[in-house]
Structure 1
């Protein structure tokens, strides 16, 4: 089985721990990097080249949407799933315009995040 590498970006350590526990339970998925702001997200992306990034949009410094743009400028094939508390369509639209491959709200059932990650992985490069 091919192991897919996942990076998580959220400014709350407890939330990142929750992501880690959920994702690590999935066969073939492994957390390889974490970041808590846009700047470190970009640097960690360049250092680790994950297969998928799970990105919150509300992070310190530049927004997650700006981080998506920056990562996608570096790697136009980057697969990024937004995982956020924001339910508004404006955030979703901005995320997709920036290059996100998926958008899941934090109030969703956990399987929706896993489905979004797997969907991003199966998307053609």
Structure 2
């Protein structure tokens, strides 16, 4: 069976590269996007097993993209880890995670062990 795909939507190239490297080491296939526009076209057509989503991107707000994904039948139940450096985005998304078992919200920086635990709980490689 091919490895599960984890999509990473992250505009910081260094952090995105770290995520891609460790996800590959953990046995996942990675699709990387640095804008919402790039991610939207693929994710709505061909959802991954899980999404790691930056809370703030150059072309939009990760929380609003999360809401868009929940309105789409193909991505309604997609496991999402939303990461943010903004306390405002974190607080809004955290409130949503109380109602959405498929949404995990965390502030950056986040230990890689926590990311591994969250991804493993949501999807197996």
The TM-score by the shorter chain falls in which range?
0.7 to 0.9
- SS of the residue aligned with 1:78? coil
The aligned runs of 1:1-125 (5 Å cut-off) are: 3-27=3-27, 29-31=28-30, 33-74=31-72, 75-86=75-86, 90-94=91-95, 96=97, 99=100, 101-121=103-123
Q: 2-side partners of 1:110 and 1:17: how far apart?
A: 13
Distance 1:95 1:42, change over 3 A: farther
Say if 2:23 and 2:29, in contact at 8 Å, map to a contact too. yes
Alignment length (residue pairs) = 120
Displacement of 1:95: 5.2
Say if 1:7 and 1:50, in contact at 8 Å, map to a contact too. yes
Displacement of 1:23: 0.7
Q: 2-side partners of 1:48 and 1:76: how far apart?
A: 13
Structure 1: stretches of 5+ with no match in the other structure: none
Structure 2: stretches of 5+ with no match in the other structure: none
Deviation digits for residues 13-68 of structure 1 (CA, Å, limit 9, x no counterpart)? 222111101111103x211x221222222212134320000001011122000111
User: Could you state the TM-score of these two structures normalised by the residue count of structure 2?
Assistant: 0.79
